[in-house]
Structure 1
Amino acid sequence: MLRIFICLVALLVVLTSLDGASAQTTTAPAASSAPAAPKPSRVKLTVEKLKEMKAKWATNRPKLRACRKEVKQKGLAGDDRWFYIADCMERT
């Protein structure tokens, strides 16, 4: 009898937790059924983007050299370095 009671309590706990979980998995409203295209992020650079940037910069080496010098003076590293160089190369 005790075993049956414990099993019923366990079953009740499991069913209660499943009922709460199913309420959290409701579908989104119909207005947002067509998600917008993901916006490109400046946080991470892809390999293709880096290759494209380097190819463009190779045509103007003196300007690239000056931009790299500025980056070293500022002590930038990682993605910040690449973004700064990209902005520097676009300036006149």
Structure 2
Amino acid sequence: MLRTGICLVTALAMAGSIVTASAQTTAPAPAPKTSKLKLTKERMKEMRAHWSQNKSKLKACRKDVKAKGLAGDDRWFYIEECMGKS
């Protein structure tokens, strides 16, 4: 009986919070910033082809990435920005 009561109270509390949350979201939400595009195979091939033209610069950019400890997409975007600098 105690479990049933606790579950009922929890369900009512969650339902109440959902109702108030939906009432608060009547204003339009701001659009999320998408400054970085999702990487695709084609985009990766283009980036690597561009980077292979200037290997000394790529080596320096990789050293910076390793020093900063970046991984995943952040790593690729940082290398792209680094290669774009003169």
Question: TM-score normalised by the shorter chain: which range applies?
Answer: 0.5 to 0.7
Other-structure match for 2:29: none
Q: Aligned letter for 2:46?
A: E
TM-score by length of 2: 0.58
In the alignment, structure 2 segments of 5+ residues that lack a partner are: 1-33
Structure 1 portions without partners, runs of 5+ = 1-39
Secondary structure at 2:70's aligned position in 1?
coil
| Matching residue of 2:60 | 66
Give the TM-score of the pair, scaled to structure 1.
Answer: 0.54
Q: Distance in 1 between matches of 2:35 and 2:61?
A: 23
Q: Which residue of 43, 47, 67 corresponds with 1:49? A: 43
- 1:43 CA displacement: 4.8
After superposing on structure 2, the runs of 4+ consecutive aligned residues of structure 1 that deviate more than 3 Å are none
| 2:36 counterpart letter in structure 1 | R
Residue in 1 that maps onto 2:75: 81
Number of corresponding residues: 53
Q: Choose 1 or 2 for highest CA Rg.
A: 1
Q: CA RMSD in A?
A: 1.5
